[in-house]
């Protein structure tokens, strides 16, 4: 974790005891330039990292979680913040100016409008002055804004899957931006490491449930991104479903066509849109979550249904990699002047 690497970039992780923090430690071990020098975990401070995550034992040895303090991260090149919603807004103001780059993996700086936070997150934003300083961390759509950034708000996992799947068709005006439907399934790790009544084994096993009906917090994030990309006002009906798998997201997205097109042309439109995006694969095959597991890739496809005058686009990604920690590293690579693919795999694990 602290071994010498060429051209070292000194990094810290706030919230390293959560799933996204652990995934950062795993991914950064493969990164040729980033070295983790501080890893705090408030609920696990002083406890051996390998006791909580035995898979990290070859990387962390006997290292324990650090107690958080802003001083711990002084002078680091990049700090990744992996905290639940509502907590990053207390930490980020303490770190700005003390570190080179902050990549927040939480939701506290993703929305441009502070007035949306009470409605969707149930509380006022405590430092709205930082919202216009944050670069939205979805490289495939905002790549040019990331170099030199000081604060990056990495995209939410559900929002990344839905936005990347629909963006080519909203941007081109092919679908009605006011009539978008997203049905999404997600693995249990998206709910985080701490146990919850709806994520216990007995609740999740052999069960599928819809949640966040009409109120999921990623809804305004998706609408903000698609509105921006399409220079329009996008409205989405977003319904996530929890399924009994560890990781992965599959988003089935529907839009009403505004002009005639066939499936072959829609596939080509999608491929052209992501021509310069190394982690996006556009394919005629229907994508599966297993194909992207452990990778930073997104697999996409699209179909046109003349009978209903609808477009169906499907996207899959690993919620802990491309949907969180891999996305954060990709953003950091771009912000720090490295190739965006550095230290990240495009190949999933199978079986």
**Active site residues per annotation:** 157
What is the rounded CA–CA span in Å between residue 96 and residue 93? Answer: 5
Neighbouring C-beta atoms of residue 173, cutoff 10 Å: 13
10 pairs with which residues across the strands? Answer: 35
Burial (CB count <10 Å: 0-12, 13-18, 19+), residue 179: middle
Backbone angles phi, psi at 249, to 5 degrees: -135, 135
Residue 209 Rama label (left phi>0; alpha psi -120 to 50; beta): beta
Contact 134, 151 (CB under 8 A): yes
Residue (of 155, 188, 194) closest to 331 by Cα position: 155
Q: Quickly tell me which residue has 């009978």 as its tokens.
A: 307
Alpha-carbon distance values, 227 to 91, 119, 159, 171, 205 (Å): 29, 19, 13, 9, 37
Q: Quickly tell me which residue has 């810290």 as its tokens.
A: 12
What is the rounded CA–CA span in Å between residue 307 and residue 304? Answer: 9
Q: Is 36 helix (H, G, I), strand (E, B) or coil?
A: strand
Residue (of 68, 105, 296) closest to 192 by Cα position: 105
């Amino acid at each position: 974790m602290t071994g010498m690497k060429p051209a070292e970039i000194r990094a810290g992780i706030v919230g390293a005891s959560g799933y996204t923090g652990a995934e950062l430690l795993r991914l950064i071990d493969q990164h040729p330039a980033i070295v983790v020098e501080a890893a705090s975990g408030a609920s696990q401070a002083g406890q051996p990292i390998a006791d909580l995550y035995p898979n990290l034992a070859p990387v962390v040895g006997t290292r324990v979680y650090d107690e958080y303090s802003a001083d711990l991260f002084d002078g680091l090149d990049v700090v990744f913040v992996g905290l639940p919603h509502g907590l990053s807004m207390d930490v980020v103001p303490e770190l700005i100016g003390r570190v080179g780059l902050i990549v927040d993996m939480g939701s506290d700086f993703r929305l441009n409008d502070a007035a949306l936070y009470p409605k969707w997150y149930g509380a006022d934003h405590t430092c709205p002055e930082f919202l216009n300083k944050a670069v939205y961390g979805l490289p495939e759509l905002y790549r040019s804004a990331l170099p030199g950034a000081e604060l990056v708000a990495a995209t939410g996992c559900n929002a990344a899957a839905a936005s990347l799947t629909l963006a080519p068709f909203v941007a081109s005006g092919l679908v009605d931006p006011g009539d978008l439907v997203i049905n999404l399934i997600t693995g249990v790790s998206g709910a985080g490491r701490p146990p919850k009544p709806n994520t216990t084994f007995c609740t999740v096993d052999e069960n599928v449930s819809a949640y966040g009906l009409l109120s999921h917090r990623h809804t305004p994030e998706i609408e903000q991104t698609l509105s921006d990309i399409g220079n329009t006002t996008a409205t989405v009906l977003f319904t996530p479903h929890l399924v009994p798998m560890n990781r992965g997201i599959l988003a089935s997205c529907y839009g009403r066509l505004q002009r005639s097109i066939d499936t072959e042309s829609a596939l080509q439109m999608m491929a052209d849109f992501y021509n310069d995006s190394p982690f996006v694969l556009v394919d005629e095959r229907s994508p599966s979550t297993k194909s992207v597991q452990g990778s930073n890739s997104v697999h996409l496809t699209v179909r046109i249904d003349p009978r209903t005058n609808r477009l169906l686009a499907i996207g899959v990604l690993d919620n802990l990699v491309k949907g969180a920690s891999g996305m954060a590293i990709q953003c950091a690579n771009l912000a720090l002047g490295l190739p965006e693919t550095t230290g990240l795999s495009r190949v999933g694990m199978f079986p």
